[in-house]
Structure 1
Amino acid sequence: MTLTAQTAPVTVRRARTSDVQYIRELVAPLADERVLIAKEAVAYYEGLQEFRIAQDAEGNVIGCGALHVMWEDLAEVRTLATHRDWRGRGVGHLLLEQLLADAVEIGVSRVFCLTFEVDFFQRHGFEVMENQSAVDPQVYSELLRSQDEGVAEFLDLARVKPNTLGNTRMIRTVRG
């Protein structure tokens, strides 16, 4: 998919193994600012099929984002990052729109995020989650069995509180 991010052509595509180094480079400054959590390279390789990459007309990787399925009707936007020189130019928008389209394509109806960028996600139809009513109690008990940190963050479990301090839990319905 090639679109224009405020006058510059940007292509959004599925990630490849050669992109992991660039994903890590995009995440590093945001991890230093405690906006994102850096992961080991192996974690990015394991989740590579979840990632989309934004690249400029010269093929430079300028952004990334992932969609992680948590349950039948629920997925999480993860690791949405844009190169600092491209922030505010629509790259994050293009990536998020692609991830939401991916959610619809695979049958997910709700997308969650844990973010400091509340205004950005609100502009894209996300709402602040007020309570745990986002999942049925039976599904909640099933999700408790997950070892995934993102699921623990969604459930607002005490063990992940140090990772989520100051973040806002948001959700959006992407199809009826």
Structure 2
Amino acid sequence: IYENIRDFFVCEDEDGGVVGVAALHVMWEDLAEIRSLAVKEGSEGGGIGRMLMDACLSEARSLGIKRVFALTYRSGFFEKFGFREVEKSTLPQKIWTDCLKCSKFPDCDETAVILESGGSGESQ
């Protein structure tokens, strides 16, 4: 956990309870992954996911990262920020680093999405 704690953004409610998390994991000098973006059940639709996405994309921009990707079950959410669907094979860094260790490999049911520099990075 100590190895990855810097990567995480956390959203809390007024009582200090965690209602959302997301991580920006830098994989290469120009490539990062948004990992574990999740909003607590019952807290969806209140802008928490948008705030977490904005934080991740802002961090990526500040680091000069030109490509940000995710593996997701909710590609429509990412598309609101300018991401587009791609084949997982276009992300060899992810496949060789993490996917080979996954019990679902090679039959992953997540969708790969990517935002490349020139994408808006803004929600619509």
Native 8 Å contact 1:104 1:175 kept in 2: no
Q: 2:116: which partner in 1?
A: 173
* Structure 1 stretches lacking a partner, 5+ long: 1-43, 135-139
TM norm structure 1: 0.59
TM norm structure 2: 0.81
Counterparts of 1:16-165 in structure 2, within 5 Å, are 44-130=1-87, 132-133=89-90, 143=93, 148-149=97-98, 153=99, 160=102, 162=104, 165=108
What is the one-letter code of the residue matched to 1:106?
A: L
Separation in 1, partners of 2:63, 2:88: 26
Percent identical residues: 36
Separation in 2, partners of 1:68, 1:88: 25
Native 8 Å contact 1:50 1:66 kept in 2: yes
Secondary structure class of the residue paired with 1:77: strand
CA RMSD between the two structures: 2.4
How far off its partner does 1:106 sit? 1.0
Residues 106-161 of structure 1, C-alpha deviations (whole Å, 9 max, x = no match) = 11111010000011111111100146456xxxxx5xx48x6x41xxx3xxx5x647
Secondary structure class of the residue paired with 2:52: helix
Native 8 Å contact 1:82 1:92 kept in 2: yes
- Normalized per residue, the structure richer in helix is 1
Figure out how many residues of one structure are paired with residues of the other and give that number: 117
Q: Greater CA radius of gyration, 1 or 2?
A: 1
Separation in 2, partners of 1:77, 1:48: 14
* Structure 2 stretches lacking a partner, 5+ long: 120-124
Residues 41-75 of structure 1, C-alpha deviations (whole Å, 9 max, x = no match) = xxx33200100001122222111000000111000
